[in-house]
């Protein structure tokens, strides 16, 4: 995993950009989604275009692109790359980056789940580190597939000086950012990621992280 340094960022640093997909149809309906492969809503497509324009304003050009195998993520990536004029960049789709499996909660409206199981219990399932929803994955389980994939396939790209974009999901990215930012299980409970809001890490040639920024519209 990449380490952090307190050195100042430099223009020559390369970047790792992490983006949660734009609003999906089931985000719009406030339903637990997990591995269900639902598409982007109209608003989600618009958000993805806005994220692409924000990255364009930053002057970013990517050398490598990764997304999950779920269409809300790789469609968001396609829209972003289109805005950047990089629609031909080959992209890697990996199931290891898929959203956390929400098990028996999938397809249930989140408000309805709070009424049925209690708000505190649902919050524990949504945000705790090592407690899984029934039949699903905890954040720890999710990290156990996301982080090894990141180390195996993405870190070498960054260490080779490439600019990398990764489009994935609220919880698969939380598990990765927990590792990158060295968040404790308590800290990660309060950490959530907005849809289509790029998180930019600057990465030095030796692979250390120098700066993290959120690109809010």
Ligand X SMILES: O=C(O)[C@H](O)COP(=O)(O)O
Where do contacts with ligand X occur on this chain (CB under 6 A)? 32-34, 99, 102, 126, 169-171
Q: 28 a known binding residue?
A: no
Shortest separation between residue 133's beta carbon and ligand X, angstroms? 10
Q: 20 a known binding residue?
A: yes
Partnered with residue 92 across adjacent β-strands are 66
Task: Reply yes or no on whether 157 is catalytic.
Answer: no
- Which C-beta is closer to ligand X: that of 117 or that of 207? 117
- Which C-beta is closer to ligand X: that of 32 or that of 66? 32
- Which C-beta is closer to ligand X: that of 117 or that of 161? 117
Residue whose C-beta lies closest to ligand X: 33
Shortest separation between residue 126's beta carbon and ligand X, angstroms? 5
Task: Given the residues 47, 74, 83, 99, select the one marked as catalytic.
Answer: 99
Shortest separation between residue 125's beta carbon and ligand X, angstroms? 9
Task: Reply yes or no on whether 21 is catalytic.
Answer: yes
Q: 47 a known binding residue?
A: no
Q: Are 86 and 165 in contact (CB under 8 A)?
A: no
Q: 186 a known binding residue?
A: no
Shortest separation between residue 32's beta carbon and ligand X, angstroms? 4
Q: 174 a known binding residue?
A: no
Reference 98, options 143, 152, 155; nearest CA is 143
Distance CA 217, CA 214 (A): 10
- Which C-beta is closer to ligand X: that of 161 or that of 170? 170
Binding-site residues for substrate, in ranges, read 20-27, 33-34, 72, 99-102, 110, 170-171
Which residues are identified as catalytic?
21, 99
């Amino acid at each position: 995993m990449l380490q952090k340094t307190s050195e100042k960022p430099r223009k020559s640093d390369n970047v790792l950009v992490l983006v949660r997909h734009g609003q999906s149809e089931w985000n719009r309906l406030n339903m637990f989604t997990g591995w269900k492969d639902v598409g982007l809503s109209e608003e989600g497509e618009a958000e993805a275009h806005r994220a692409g324009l924000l990255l364009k304003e930053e002057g970013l050009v990517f050398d490598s692109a990764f997304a999950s195998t779920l269409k809300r993520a790789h469609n968001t990536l396609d829209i972003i790359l289109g805005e950047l004029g990089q629609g031909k960049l080959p992209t890697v789709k990996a199931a290891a980056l898929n959203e956390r499996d929400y098990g028996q909660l999938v397809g249930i409206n989140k408000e309805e789940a709070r009424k049925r199981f209690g708000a505190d219990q649902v919050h524990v399932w949504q945000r705790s580190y090592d407690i899984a929803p029934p039949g699903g994955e905890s954040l720890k389980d999710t990290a156990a597939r996301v982080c090894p994939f990141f180390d195996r396939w993405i870190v070498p790209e960054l260490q080779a000086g490439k600019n990398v974009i990764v489009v994935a999901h609220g919880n698969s990215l939380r598990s990765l950012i927990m590792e990158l930012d060295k968040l404790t299980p308590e800290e990660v409970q309060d950490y959530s990621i907005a849809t289509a809001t790029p998180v930019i890490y600057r990465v030095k040639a030796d692979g250390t992280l120098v700066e993290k920024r959120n690109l809010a519209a």
